Amino acid sequence: MLKSLISKQKGCFEHINNKTSFMKNNIIVSLFFGVVLSFNYFGCTKDKEVDCSDGKCDPVLKVNSKLKFDGQALVIGDFYKYNDTLEIRFLRVNYMFSPLTLDDTSLGDAFHFDFTNKNINKANAELGSTILEKQINKSSSVSLSYGVGLPQKLNNSRPEDFLSTHPLSNQSLYWASWSSYIFAQFEGYVKNKNTGEELSFTYHTGGNESYKFKRIPFVKNFQPSTTNTVNINCDLRKVFSRDGVNFDIMANLQNHATGSTAVSQYIMENLLNAHEFILE
């Protein structure tokens, strides 16, 4: 009986030793794999470090142009309230925009904003048109410069002076009789809400005297390695009003002239100030 008891106790000790040994082995194996995984983690992390040399992490700037009337997306052909008596609808809207510069970084020397065949419905009007999308070697800006029309050096050129990919190569945008590009075209109708009468209006401007330029504060930060979107909003209400007073459209239905006329100056000065620049 004593032998049997000793045998059982010996078996228990062996079991405990085996179990202890098994646990030790498990701990050692766990520690081993933990070390291996740690090396793999740090090794992988190192391998995945982003290479930002040669401007690879520079932000991408996307610029959209949008047309509005009284803050609403403007749809070509739709009527909008002009005053208590008149409604207005636009059938053609286009103009030159030159240049576009962030601080001293040029984003483009000239653009032609043409909404006539783009803003054909509300969805398109709200979406706007992308005029450029490019990487910029800048992380921030403090100012933005732009103009409406064309500066004298560009306006004294002719379509044949430009490559076919440049907006100023378009012959239809140049009027030889003016020796000038067309700076802006606004065409449409005004309707008397009381009588239903509709009258057409036409405003065409050009000539070096019509060019307007300004620099504005634009203190912004641009996120690296991602697309930063700037919306250029032009509100036509501001083109046809100043200091809360609407342009007397019924008394000035037509203007097809260079910047020497008062109407051309009024429209181009207002067009310059009708823009806002919003970074999403």
Segments making up each domain of the chain, as ranges: 1-49, 53-279
What pLDDT, in 10s, does the model give residues 122-169? Answer: 999 999 999 999 999 999 999 999 999 999 999 999 999 999 999 999
Q: How far apart are CA 227 and CA 218, in angstroms?
A: 18
Q: How far from 92 is each of 28, 49, 250, CA to CA, in Å? A: 79, 51, 18
What pLDDT, in 10s, does the model give residues 77-111? Answer: 999 999 999 999 999 999 999 999 999 999 999 99
What pLDDT score was predicted for residue 48?
59
Residue type (1 letter), 132: L
With bands split at pLDDT 50, 70 and 90, how would you rate the model's confidence at 51? Answer: confident
Handedness of CA 160, 162, 164, 167 (dihedral sign): negative
Mean pLDDT for the chain overall: 87
What pLDDT score was predicted for residue 274?
98
